[in-house]
Amino acid sequence: MQDLLSFLISLLFRPCIFIPLIFPGLTVIFIMLLMIIWLERKIAAKVQLRYGPLYVFKPLGGVIQTVADLLKDLFQEPIIPKTVDKIAFLLTPIMLFGLAYLPTVVIPVSPTFYAFRSDLSLLLLLTLTTLAPIFTVLMGWASNNKFSLIGGLREGYLVISYEIPMFLSALSMAVLYGSLDLVDIAEAQKGIWGLFLNPVAGISMLVLIYMSTGKFPFEIPEAESEIVAGAYTEYSGIMYGLVMGASYVKLYVLSLVYAILFLGGWNPLPASMMDNPLLPGAMLFAKAFILIAIGVFLRAVYPRFRIDQAMNIGWKMALPFSILAIFISLGIVTITGGM
Amino acid sequence: MSVDKTIRHVKALATGIKYLVSSKRMTLMYPDEIEEFPDGYRGMIKYNWDTCIKCGLCAMVCPADAMKMYISKEESEEGKKPVRRPGINYARCVFCGFCVAICPTNSLKFTKVHDVVYNTLEEQVYPPEKFREGVPKPQYKKKPKKMRAILDEERGLRYEPVE
């Protein structure tokens, strides 16, 4: 019995199981989702001089309100309208959530603890994150509803305007460190973090992360006051929970990538603490969580941009800035002879 | 991006952070705290059976058709002719106060009660016999704190406890 238990625990701590299932995988994603939605409502309430969720477990400020919401969503009847394309309608939430969650397997937790190491892991990760928007567009089409269609098209417009500059900003860091391997990139930031070496790339990537995950002021594809819930209009119950969760999961994954690219990943922990995956993992998670918290704080401050304003930011500002970031990286590499 | 726009973005974020860290709140925590209303507050209406002269002006002036004259059974049987008295339907009432203002004998008066829950629409209709019993008393689980709304130049609305 004892042997079996210790075997199971050692199995759990194997990277190929720990990373997809615990951190940064499913378990932490689930807890993060519940926490961040509560935090979003609480922050928005605080800025607007209200209390926010309060009565579900009052001593901690209603922190399990989202659990109650989840239970409500689970027991709600999922309504499938008659005129939708059934297969696409039912499969897209699962594909969206799955594709948002999939890139976590590439993310390393410490220099020696990773499920999957490749020379091209950054490229692989960015590629996986770009698949999800296709399903948002498909969802808008499958729902057979004008609001869904408009929401899906808006997502399509946004994707083409944020994707290229975001890739360029991320790849400028690969140029700077001479590697596409996330472990190498994080290890190269032992001394000085990427954000301070190349702040242009850092700021443009941060803005584009919020743009790609539909945070304010870029909450255009699901503009509540204009097109009900955008591509998600026809969804109800737990399917709505999945599609809403998908954008938060995407934000979480991109924040982890941002933490590795620009905020030094698990640095500045000393090398002696790297044996156990928990400490570097906690460090990485803390950095990503702060980024997510900033993202949800923006909701309380900004109104929504028009679609053309957001596209202007993508093409006319972020694209030149990210090209500039590549040249900054090239300049640093030329001067110092590589990091 | 112009410098001016950047400064405005930073200012907006700074304002957000300022409110985030300050402990100001405008919410009145309703069942635990209740607002004390000023005199002349237009709540539910109480009816004085004895001073009423059954003139019917209140029913005539009511813009929402909430106040109506009902035949009062006992009095009609006593006097062998129909006697009409006012009754109110709170499902229709807009609390405009015309009936209270027009009453020649001040038999209708406002109270400060406004928070009463009804299970059915029928319960909200008060025929004269029910109307004379007065307004229902609000019931709270525990004794609520009385608060007064104050307009503050610094932060808008503020609630202060009443001693």
pLDDT digits (tens, 9 = 90+) for A198-213: 888 888 888 888 888 8
Q: What is the predicted pLDDT for the residue at A338?
A: 61
Q: What is the predicted pLDDT for the residue at A213?
A: 86
Residues of A in contact with B26 (CB under 8 A): 49-50
Nearest to A49 among B12, B24, B29 (CB): B24
Q: What is the predicted pLDDT for the residue at B79?
A: 78
Contact assignment for B27 to A51 by CB distance below 8 Å: yes
DSSP H/E element including A185 = helix A182-187
Contact assignment for B19 to A49 by CB distance below 8 Å: yes
In sequence order, which ranges of chain B are alpha helices (DSSP H)? 3-21, 57-61, 73-79, 98-102, 128-131
Tell me the shortest Cα–Cα distance from B27 to chain A, in angstroms: 6
Q: Say if residue B1's pLDDT is above 70.
A: no
SS (HEC) of A206-221 = HHHHHHHCCCCCCCCC
Contact assignment for B12 to A301 by CB distance below 8 Å: yes
Check: CB of residue A339 under 8 Å from CB of residue A178.
yes
How much is the average pLDDT of A244-248? Answer: 87
Q: What is the predicted pLDDT for the residue at A46?
A: 87
Residue type, A75: F
Closest CA to B100 of B37, B42, B159, B21: B42
Check: CB of residue B17 under 8 Å from CB of residue B11.
no
Q: Say if residue A1's pLDDT is above 80.
A: no
Residues of A in contact with B29 (CB under 8 A): 51
Tell me the shortest Cα–Cα distance from A127 to chain B, in angstroms: 29
Residues of B in contact with A317 (CB under 8 A): 1
pLDDT digits (tens, 9 = 90+) for A65-108: 888 888 888 888 888 888 888 888 888 888 888 888 888 888 88
Helices A146-177 and A121-142, axial angle in degrees (round to 10): 170
Q: Say if residue B24's pLDDT is above 80.
A: no
Residues of A in contact with B20 (CB under 8 A): 43, 46-47, 297, 300
Question: Using CA atoms, how far apart are residues A296 and A213, in angstroms rounded to an integer?
Answer: 11
- Which among B3, B9, B20 is the top mutation candidate for probing chain A, defined by the most A β-carbons within 10 Å of its own β-carbon? B20
Q: What domains can you pick out in chain B, each with its CATH number? A: 46-131 (3.30.70.3270)
Nearest to A317 among B1, B12, B15 (CB): B1
Side-chain-side CA neighbours of A75 within 13 Å: the count stands at: 5
Contact assignment for B20 to A48 by CB distance below 8 Å: no
Q: Given pLDDT bands bounded at 50, 70 and 90, which one contains residue B143?
A: confident
Tell me the shortest Cα–Cα distance from A64 to chain B, in angstroms: 20
- pTM for this prediction: 0.80
A239 Cα distance to chain centroid: 19
DSSP H/E element including B97 = none
Tokens linked to B24: 């100001």
Q: Given pLDDT bands bounded at 50, 70 and 90, which one contains residue A116?
A: confident
pLDDT digits (tens, 9 = 90+) for A283-313: 888 888 899 989 888 888 888 888 888 888 8
- Which among B13, B18, B141, B152 is the top mutation candidate for probing chain A, defined by the most A β-carbons within 10 Å of its own β-carbon? B13
pLDDT digits (tens, 9 = 90+) for B25-80: 788 888 888 888 888 888 889 888 889 888 889 899 999 989 999 888 887 888 78
Q: What is the mean pLDDT of chain A?
A: 85
Question: Using CA atoms, how far apart are residues B70 and B73, in angstroms rounded to an integer?
Answer: 9
What percent of chain A stands above pLDDT 70? 99
- Is A43 part of the contact surface with chain B (CB cutoff 8 Å)? yes
CB atoms within 10 A of CB A144: 15
Q: 282-301 in A: which are within 8 Å (CB) of B? A: 297, 300-301
Q: What is the predicted pLDDT for the residue at B63?
A: 92
Q: What is the predicted pLDDT for the residue at A339?
A: 56
CB atoms within 10 A of CB A194: 27
Contact assignment for A50 to B27 by CB distance below 8 Å: yes
pLDDT digits (tens, 9 = 90+) for B66-99: 999 988 888 788 878 888 889 999 889 999 989 9
- Is A50 part of the contact surface with chain B (CB cutoff 8 Å)? yes
Phi, psi of B67 (to 5 degrees): -90, 125
- Give every strand in the sheet of B125-126, ordered side by side: B67-71, B84-89, B125-126
Q: Say if residue A12's pLDDT is above 70.
A: yes
Q: Given pLDDT bands bounded at 50, 70 and 90, which one contains residue A261?
A: confident
Check: CB of residue B86 under 8 Å from CB of residue B69.
yes
Nearest to B16 among A49, A300, A317 (CB): A300
Q: What is the mean pLDDT of chain B?
A: 86
Q: What is the predicted pLDDT for the residue at A73?
A: 83
Check: CB of residue A328 under 8 Å from CB of residue A195.
no
Helices A237-262 and A65-75, axial angle in degrees (round to 10): 140
Nearest CA in chain B to A316: B1
Nearest to A50 among B1, B13, B25 (CB): B25
Nearest CA in chain B to A317: B1
Contact assignment for B25 to A302 by CB distance below 8 Å: no
Nearest CA in chain A to B29: A51
What percent of chain B stands above pLDDT 70? 99
Task: Classify burial at A239, counting beta carbons within 10 Å of its beta carbon; exposed 0-12, middle 13-18, buried 19 or more.
Answer: buried
Nearest to A43 among B20, B24, B26 (CB): B20
Question: Using CA atoms, how far apart are residues B83 and A87, in angstroms rounded to an integer?
Answer: 70
Q: What is the predicted pLDDT for the residue at B61?
A: 92
Question: Using CA atoms, how far apart are residues A250 and A8, in angstroms rounded to an integer?
Answer: 30
SS3 B88: strand
